[in-house]
Chain A
Amino acid sequence: MRAEELKGHLDALLLAALEDGPRHGYAVIEALRNSTGGRLDLPTGTIYPALHRLEAAGLISGSWSVVSGRQRREYRLTAAGTRALSGKRADWRDFAAMISAALEGQPWPSPT
């Protein structure tokens, strides 16, 4: 999946990567890689500015620690981030259901 196709979804992916607990930038990238089966194709260096943007928006918080003599910045979800992730998940389910219904020629929402 290329970077252009990720537009609008990267924030949700990053928030989801932090749902299980705090992670530093590289661990977030690894989590994204693992959760997508390595299909994400975007410059990993651009994950860091996205994390900074989410931090400025108050959705995640960052803190510094020293690991093996090297400074490392760790991020965790804030309460606002958790709420935002829930909202983005609901939006995505709605969107995916609508597109699936349209592609498969079914009315939406599907009658049950």
Chain B
Amino acid sequence: MAEPNLIGDCLAELSAQLPAPIVAELADGLDQTRQRYLSQGLVPDAAARAALAEFGEPHIIVAAFTRASPARRAARRLLATGPMVGACWGTALIINRAWAWPIPIGTRIAVGGALITAIALLAIAAFSGHYRSAGRAATAGCIGIAALDATVLITITLAAPAVVWPVIVAMTASLARMTFSARTLHTVLAS
């Protein structure tokens, strides 16, 4: 009775950390590895042990999937491109003397806090060793960044005295990032 428990325990450990389709694929591979050892004459318990030894430790497999996860990849891209988009907006806001706009100080602090939170969530997703927490953090970070982009776009449309080319560049960068965030959300939620 030990054989099914060995494989089952491994799959249960993987299921706790990875999405069901990935675990189904791993279960198939693990079963085929076990079948190969059985066909070589090993008893079921020994075949299960040999298959698990060949397969690798669950935490190593989970870590490899986390490194390859769409959430982690997207978070790293957003973090890498963030300074460029930020520089575009910084230039656009300075040119438009944004500090003189009639925006309450509380709103400015709230936007700043939201930006820091979104960046922190993306950083968690980018460096997390846990597949599910990376996915959750990337989802929240993408939503946060997209919401901030939308907020800034609406604000500058309403408040900017003139739309000069740095504003157009910044708006284009934000729209591109919002599109990327939407695609990322779709991919991460589907994974």
> Interface residues, chain A, CB within 8 Å of chain B?
24-26, 29, 42-46, 48-50, 52-53, 56, 64, 70-73
Given the complex, which residues of B lie within 8 Å of A50, measured CB to CB?
64, 68
Q: Work out how many contacts link A and B, with CB atoms closer than 8 A.
A: 69
Closest 4 CB pairs of A and B: A43-B56, A49-B64, A53-B68, A45-B61
Chain B residues numbered 20-36 whose CB sits less than 8 Å from any CB in chain A? 21-22, 24-33
> Interface residues, chain B, CB within 8 Å of chain A?
21-22, 24-33, 54-58, 60-61, 64-65, 67-68, 70, 73
- What are some 27 contacts across the A-B interface (CB < 8 A)? A24-B28, A25-B28, A25-B29, A26-B28, A26-B29, A26-B32, A44-B29, A44-B33, A44-B54, A44-B55, A45-B29, A45-B30, A45-B58, A46-B56, A46-B60, A48-B25, A48-B64, A48-B65, A49-B64, A50-B68, A52-B22, A52-B65, A56-B73, A70-B28, A71-B21, A72-B28, A73-B25
Closest chain-A Cβ to B70's Cβ sits at a distance in Å of 6
- Using A43-B57, A52-B65 as known contacts, say yes or no to A71 and B24 having CB atoms under 8 A apart: yes
Q: Is the CB of A56 within 8 A of B61?
A: no
**Bound CA–CA A85/B45 (angstroms):** 40
Closest chain-A Cβ to B73's Cβ sits at a distance in Å of 7
Q: Is the CB of A70 within 8 A of B31?
A: yes
Closest residue of chain B to A72 (Cβ to Cβ) is B28
Q: Is the CB of A29 within 8 A of B29?
A: yes
Given the complex, which residues of B lie within 8 Å of A70, measured CB to CB?
24, 27-28, 31
Closest residue of chain B to A56 (Cβ to Cβ) is B70
Given the complex, which residues of B lie within 8 Å of A29, measured CB to CB?
29
Q: Is the CB of A26 within 8 A of B70?
A: no
**Bound CA–CA A72/B24 (angstroms):** 8
Q: Which of A26, A49, A50, A52 has the most CB of B within 10 A?
A: A49
**Bound CA–CA A46/B27 (angstroms):** 13
Closest residue of chain B to A71 (Cβ to Cβ) is B24
Q: Is the CB of B25 within 8 A of A25?
A: yes
**Bound CA–CA A7/B28 (angstroms):** 26
Given the complex, which residues of B lie within 8 Å of A44, measured CB to CB?
29, 33, 54-56
Given the complex, which residues of B lie within 8 Å of A48, measured CB to CB?
22, 25-26, 29, 61, 64-65
Given the complex, which residues of A lie within 8 Å of B32, measured CB to CB?
26
Given the complex, which residues of A lie within 8 Å of B61, measured CB to CB?
43, 45-46, 48-49
